[in-house]
Structure 1
Amino acid sequence: MKVARFYAPGDIRIEEAPEPSPGPDEVKIRVHACSTCGTDLKIFRHGHHHIDPPRVIGHEIAGEVVETGAEISGWEAGDRVQVIAAIPCGECADCRRGWRTICPNQLSMGYHFDGGFAEYMIVPQRVLRVDGLNRIPEGLSYAEASVAEPLACVLNGQEFAQVGEGDVVVVTGAGPIGCLHVRLARARGAAAVYLVELNRGRLDMAADIVKPDAVICGSETDPVQAVLDLTDGRGADVIITAAAAGKAQEDGLKMAARRGRISFFGGLPKDNPIIACDSNLVHYRELTIYGANGSSPEHNKRALELIATGAVPVDDLITHRLKLDGVLDAIDTVASGEAIKVTIEPAAS
């Protein structure tokens, strides 16, 4: 079978590998769709401290069960499934409190285990024991199901920041995550959603699909003043920084209304993680700053339902579909900013 293996920064190889066999407590799937994300680009450029190469990467996975181990029950060949990416241990103090997104023992598909840029892959027992293999609802395509993983992360962030009815929401970053934030905020009852992005072409492409209530190009205007103008000086109830930029986080504090919530959804580069925070803004306006770290198995299940019911459409966000041989082209396309979502379809190889 074909796989895409990461060996070192700048070195991902499409090569032949033996088809895997499941252990007694594992499930083997044929991968029909594995969507790419910005993390795949980071891995390609810089590697990752959790990856011990060579490793098959890809973590937004949907496929079809083809074989189960002798100890497996409840799954059989032909079942259509989506696989979680972040795998909590389910046993630590944080997991027992229901905080599975911050499990200190978390492992990940495509990092600690071979991922979805392959024709076939093994779903490890670690995934199964936390109920991390999900049935794809009837009528949902594999490509759409693969987007459940990033939507699950978005769902975690918005639930934590309590996005809800009547909120004015600002989303900074017009990539796939930003687009999902726009749509989920609408589904959660936001009164208005504004999209901020530095790159005019990327902003226009995203806005044409998700149609925010207003667009703000940060390279052409001051986004803080633009949000204040749009809200008659009040500011936004929720600001979600879906961009790896310290300035976006700093601006988020400045454009927040009193009692506003700011979600630092996008992490910052490890060599430059410090921002300037006006503590008096937080103090006098009673602002709340939230982190956002991945998703839980439960978030993945609910994300699939949101997509299947049409509450958060994703099919039109998949702007490019490539075969497994096109993984490097997919990563280049992600880097160029010319796509919203790029999906690899190994079963079509």
Structure 2
Amino acid sequence: MRAVYYEAFGQMPWLANLPDPTPTPDGVVLAVRATGLCRSDWHAWMGHDPDIRLPHVPGHELAGEVVAVGARVTRWRIGDRVTVPFVCACGVCPQCQAGQQQVCDHQFQPGFTHWGSFAEYVAIDRADLNLVRLPDDMTYVTAASLGCRFATAFRAVVDLAKVSAGEWVAVYGCGGVGLSAIMLAHALGGQVIGIDINPERLALARDLGAVAVVNAATEADVVGVVRELSRGGVHIAIDALGSPTTCANAIASLRKRGRHVQVGLLLAEQRMPPLPMDIVVARELVIMGSHGMQAHRYDAMLDLIQSGKVQPQRLIGRTIRLDEAPVALVDLDSFRGAGVTVITEF
């Protein structure tokens, strides 16, 4: 198979010819029909993720067709159209038994712990537990754009923050996760403020439902502006980027008894950022982390999409070929452009 491949962190990836995968007894092999590029893939390529074992094939936001099935798989057949959470679960640990597969004690992650979907084929273990069937009218490119971004935003906005009508929501970072969060919070009746440094992304944030936007590149007091717009602070703050500045600003934007959800990754030297804990205590704030979404919650997300209340396909910025992916991967930290990039030609 053709796949994007690297043998050292920070090394320019290249398109390689690698052996086709075969299914484990409880797994399947998918022909990848579309796969998104995510900043998490860039973090992995940089060596920020301790689970990566070299050499490596990246990619974790995927949709495809089942082309091989292991002997113990009962739910899936060749030709089924599916996607998969970026956190795949074991099904037997205490977290899985409690329904919290997104923090499975024995999780595996295509594109991180295993070779991923920047390839013609990808193997997925424990298929009966982890695969999600796609609606017949959902395209592969839309399904791939759900990836970790829309699904992670769904869990952050719906399951953790529990946004309700009329609440003020500040979303720091208007990349794929942030724009997804804006769309979802707006659909739930939230009054959303989008914060970013890219005017094109801020314009898209408005189009997706933000009632106001703040350009952090030109505004000296981002927190002050957000608190003024929300008449004393937001009820919910989401750091969808992941930096010491956006994390601290998001928390400082909250009104008393507000909720902060940290979605963006802070890795390597940023993994222990300074936080305004005096504000956390004085305002009795709640701080939560969000790490993917369980396969069993996908039906609720897909139902919302099918209702037309959210349209994740609007987040797709451009589609590219597999041979364009190495350069696009290396460039993921530059924050250029708006919307999600999806590989659709292999």
Higher alpha-carbon deviation: 258-267 or 175-184: 258-267
* C-alpha deviation, 1:195, in angstroms: 0.2
* Pairing 1:199–2:202 present: no
Query: After the TM superposition, which residues 19-98 of structure 1 pair with which residues of structure 2 at under 5 Å, given as runs?
Result: 19-46=20-47, 48-98=49-99
* C-alpha deviation, 1:61, in angstroms: 0.9
* C-alpha deviation, 1:267, in angstroms: 2.5
Find the aligned partners of 1:27 and 1:94 in 2 and give their Cα distance: 24
Contact kept in structure 2, 1:164 and 1:189, CA below 8 Å: yes
> Which letter does structure 2 place at the counterpart of 1:289?
I
Find the aligned partners of 1:224 and 1:20 in 2 and give their Cα distance: 49
Higher alpha-carbon deviation: 63-72 or 32-41: 63-72
1:8 counterpart SS class: coil
Aligned to 1:225: 224
> Which one of the candidate residues 321, 324, 327 is aligned to 1:323?
321
Structure 1 segments unaligned to the other structure (5+ residues): none
* Pairing 1:250–2:259 present: no
> Which letter does structure 2 place at the counterpart of 1:220?
T
> Which letter does structure 2 place at the counterpart of 1:341?
V
Aligned to 1:176: 176
Q: Deviations over 1:203-260 (max 9, x none)?
A: 33x336424110101122211111122123x211101111221122222232211211
Contact kept in structure 1, 2:84 and 2:295, CA below 8 Å: no
How has the CA–CA distance of structure 1 residues 106 and 119 changed in structure 2, closer, same or farther, with 3 Å as cutoff? same
> Which letter does structure 2 place at the counterpart of 1:87?
C
Give TM-score, length-normalised by structure 1. Answer: 0.90
> Which letter does structure 2 place at the counterpart of 1:320?
R
Query: After the TM superposition, which residues 48-197 of structure 1 pair with which residues of structure 2 at under 5 Å, given as runs?
Result: 48-124=49-125, 126=126, 128-129=127-128, 131-149=129-147, 150-158=149-157, 159-190=159-190, 192-197=191-196
2:6 counterpart SS class: strand
Contact kept in structure 2, 1:148 and 1:304, CA below 8 Å: no
* C-alpha deviation, 1:87, in angstroms: 1.5
* C-alpha deviation, 1:175, in angstroms: 0.7
> Which letter does structure 2 place at the counterpart of 1:175?
G
Higher alpha-carbon deviation: 85-94 or 140-149: 85-94
Instruction: Give the total of aligned pairs.
Output: 341
* C-alpha deviation, 1:332, in angstroms: 4.4
Contact kept in structure 2, 1:334 and 1:342, CA below 8 Å: no
Contact kept in structure 2, 1:237 and 1:256, CA below 8 Å: yes
2:42 counterpart SS class: helix
* C-alpha deviation, 1:34, in angstroms: 0.7
Aligned to 1:7: 7
Q: Deviations over 1:174-201 (max 9, x none)?
A: 11111000011112221x1000113334
> Which letter does structure 1 place at the counterpart of 2:340?
K
Structure 2 segments unaligned to the other structure (5+ residues): none
2:270 counterpart SS class: coil
Runs of 4+ aligned structure 1 residues displaced above 6 Å come to none
Find the aligned partners of 2:218 and 2:75 in 1 and give their Cα distance: 55
Query: After the TM superposition, which residues 188-337 of structure 1 pair with which residues of structure 2 at under 5 Å, given as runs?
Result: 188-190=188-190, 192-204=191-203, 206-207=204-205, 209-221=207-219, 222-232=221-231, 234-336=232-334, 337=336
How has the CA–CA distance of structure 1 residues 164 and 19 changed in structure 2, closer, same or farther, with 3 Å as cutoff? same
* C-alpha deviation, 1:296, in angstroms: 1.7
Give TM-score, length-normalised by structure 2. Answer: 0.91
Find the aligned partners of 1:262 and 1:170 in 2 and give their Cα distance: 9
Find the aligned partners of 1:29 and 1:88 in 2 and give their Cα distance: 18
Q: RMSD across aligned C-alpha pairs, in angstroms?
A: 2.0
Q: Deviations over 1:256-286 (max 9, x none)?
A: 1121111122232331333443434223322
* C-alpha deviation, 1:92, in angstroms: 2.0
